[in-house]
Amino acid sequence: MLLGLRSFARDRSARSLLATTMTLVAGGTGFYRWVEDLSWVDSFYFTVITLATVGYGDIAPQTTAGKLFTVFYVVVGIGLIVALATEIARHVINSSTDATDDE
């Protein structure tokens, strides 16, 4: 697995995907902090829980702007999270099959 993560870290497009995802999370955190007046921790928590599709329901947008943002944020964010997870998995799987082939 460590070899796969190293491979991921060396891959320029994978790093770009990670940076885009981190930017999306940071942007969502800032939006919820500003529009929903949540603390930084609650904003980050809500952002991650929303993109992970867990949705505990303990925090929910209260403003119209927050609700509309969340609808679009989920559509874009879930696709990006799935793409990132797929890319990480691809690198991990390829590194394990490469290690098996070397034996």
Output the pLDDT for position 55: 81
Query: What domains lie within the chain, and their CATH numbers?
Result: 14-98 (1.10.287.70)
Spatial distance between the Cα atoms of 66 and 51, rounded to a whole number of angstroms: 15
The two three-digit tokens of residue 8, written as one number: 């991921």
Spatial distance between the Cα atoms of 77 and 95, rounded to a whole number of angstroms: 27
Whether 80 contacts 55, CB under 8 Å: no
5-43 tens-digit pLDDT: 788 888 888 889 999 999 999 999 999 999 999 999 999
Spell out the residues 6+ positions from residue 26 whose beta carbon is closer than 8 angstroms to its own.
none
CB atoms within 10 A of CB 24: 18
50-90 tens-digit pLDDT: 998 888 889 999 999 999 999 999 999 999 999 999 988 88
